[in-house]
Amino acid sequence: MMMRGLWKLTWIEIKVFMREPLGAFGTIGFPVLVFLIVGRSAGRNIPATSLAANSFLRVGLPVLASLLIAVSSVLSLVTIISIYREGGILKRLRATPLRPQTILTAQVVVKLILTVSTLALMLLAGKRYYPVNVHVPLFGFTIALVISTLSILSIGFLIASIVPTARFAQPIGAAILYPMIAVSGLFTPVSSMPPVLQAIARVLPITYAVSLMEGIWKGDAWSAHIGDVAALAVVFFVCTALSAKVFRWE
Amino acid sequence: MSTVKTPRPVIQVSGIRKTYGRTVAVDEVSFEVNDGEIFGLIGPNGAGKTTTMECVEGIRKPDRGTISVLGLDPFREVYQLQERIGVQLQQAQLQKRIKVWEAVDLWASLYRKKSVDGERLLEQLGLVDKRDAWFMNLSGGQKQRLFIALALINDPEVVFLDELTTGLDPQARRAIWELVRGIRERGKTVFLTTHLMEEAERLCDRVAIIEHGRIIDIDTPQRLVDRHCPERIVVLATADSAAEERFRAIPRIESVVRSDLQFTIRGRGDDLVTEVIHCLSENRIRVTDFRMIVPNLEDVFLKLTGRSIRD
């Protein structure tokens, strides 16, 4: 069987991750905390009647938090892959009947599970403590987040293939991914950016992730976002194909 | 040591070559490993031991040459092969916070055939009270014992051990040697690498000496010593003033070096010691010290390569 050992490996990876001192909090707790703290202070300081504040609280902040969830999953993936490579863990796993794709798929599944459970936690906490009521198509939004995460994960794999040592993995990953959020259209709409930034935003995958998540959060139909999904899919396939070529196991 | 039966090779390596960029890691390497023996590939660090072993395990593909393990091509039929071999890699790690039993359980689930009883394996390897410990909290010896457990979980026919005892203290090392002998007792073939000549001498039925990527000689440790280092040395101490002259009269003596009361007598062949003792008793020479220095693999290596393996 191709995927022999996948579920056992995935389950072990989840357990190993939860045993990390900062693993659970850093990846699950942090985005939720940012979401709640910023939400509360924004809800208190800006008059609820302000249109901008309302739209930020209703759409911008939840999408930003979701994006942070995805990015922190990806950074954690990049770090883990490079630590496993440096420690010879990848090589050790490979010298078993485990298929290479099984070893890497387990990591992706762990990160997706993590992303979705963080989202669930955020929504649960939001229901109680968030200053405005939001009604979102939950299932659709979860799918949108999963698609976005998968696409960003593939960039993460490419970064993990290239970074020389585990020590550089996290900073290099952060230096590539966080600026993408800045020009993603989350803070300023892409159409009102200077032409150069617009051009940059158009080639960065996170822009499409933001557009997709914002749209679905607001209740758009999927048909309105086929372009976003297609762009994210292209990024996924290109990055996966590239990393399959350059990925180093040791 | 070796039992009387015709050796059946389970590993056949013929003329392999592997280069990394412009560095030739191994070249023209050929050898056979027989069923049920402990075969050691010995040489200094960087000699090409690990590269050779990883080619045989199917982890690397040699640029040239052929390898057959249990009748399989290790590179093309790597998954079939992995079902039937057990591997311990040099300097490998596991997930820091994986528990001992989880690693054994995971490994047991990866093989098609029914694995051996993991709990019993942990018991045999003295890891039972560590079964809930995280990998990162194990000592060097415990980690190596866990890796042996993982290498044995699928009841393999051939076990590969790469620098198994490097970094272990002498006591842990001896314990591991016992375990490796135990693997042979179960009828399995062991292929190991080491840069410790003592380890090779005590553990291996046959060894291949490798240096600069080439195999220099292959045989049992004893025969290698006999072939390359036939000289014997007797060191003794005596106050007898006539002794030096008597010693020089012993047949086939190569040299007698005197330093104060101590004499170092060099000669060839196993008869040297008898000749010296004979000379002592015949001339009633009273000695206060008598030692013989028998060459070992370390000396063979020095002789063959012109340098010590520790350099």
How confident is the model over B209-218, as a mean pLDDT? Answer: 94
Give the per-residue pLDDT at B184: 93
Find chain B residues with C-beta within 8 A of A89's C-beta.
92-95
Q: Residue A48 pLDDT > 60, yes or no? A: no
Cβ separation of A12 and B95 shorter than 8 Å?
yes
Distance in angstroms (rounded) separating the CA atoms of residues B19 and B29: 13
pTM: 0.85
CB atoms within 10 A of CB B24: 16
B303 within domain boundaries? no
B305 within domain boundaries? no
Q: Are residues B14 and B163 in the same domain?
A: yes
Q: Testing the interface with A: which of B93, B102, B150 to mutate, by most A Cβ within 10 A?
A: B93
B3 within domain boundaries? no
- Whether B136 and chain A come into contact, CB under 8 Å, resolves to no
Element housing A44 (H / E): helix A30-45
Q: Are residues B282 and B178 in the same domain?
A: no
Give the per-residue pLDDT at B127: 92
Q: Are residues B243 and B170 in the same domain?
A: no
Q: How far apart are the first and last CA of chain B?
A: 31
Q: Are residues B100 and B242 in the same domain?
A: no
Amino acid sitting at position B268: R
Which tokens is B239 given?
């106050």
Residue that is last in its domain, among B201, B226, B251: B226
B309 within domain boundaries? no
* Integer angstrom CA distances of residue B306 from A236, B40, B127, B216: 56, 21, 43, 12
Residue that is last in its domain, among B226, B257, B286: B226
Q: Are residues B208 and B248 in the same domain?
A: no
Tally of domains in chain B: 2
Give the per-residue pLDDT at A142: 92
Q: How far apart are the first and last CA of chain A?
A: 25
Q: Are residues B215 and B254 in the same domain?
A: no
Q: Are residues B159 and B207 in the same domain?
A: yes
Report yes or no: A216 and A141 within 8 Å, Cβ to Cβ.
yes
Q: Are residues B23 and B102 in the same domain?
A: yes
Q: Are residues B125 and B206 in the same domain?
A: yes
Sheet (strand B38-42) strand order: B85-88, B158-162, B189-194, B38-42, B206-211, B214-219
Q: List, in sequence order, the alpha helices (H) in A87-134.
A: 89-94, 100-129
CB atoms within 10 A of CB A7: 12
Closest-CA distance, B43 to chain A, in angstroms, reads: 23
Closest Cβ–Cβ partner in B59, B79, B91 for A97: B79
In 3D space, the residue among B65, B87, B55 whose CA is nearest the CA of residue B159 turns out to be B87
Q: Are residues B76 and B138 in the same domain?
A: yes
How confident is the model over A147-169, as a mean pLDDT? Answer: 90
Which residues have CB under 8 Å from A19's CB, separation 6+?
B97, B134
**Residue B24 or A38, more confident:** B24
Give the per-residue pLDDT at A54: 72
Range of the domain at B39: 9-226
Find chain B residues with C-beta within 8 A of A94's C-beta.
59
* Integer angstrom CA distances of residue A14 from A8, A109, A145, B176: 10, 9, 20, 32
Report yes or no: A74 and A237 within 8 Å, Cβ to Cβ.
no
Q: Residue A26 pLDDT > 80, yes or no? A: no
- Whether B106 and chain A come into contact, CB under 8 Å, resolves to yes
Q: Are residues B63 and B14 in the same domain?
A: yes
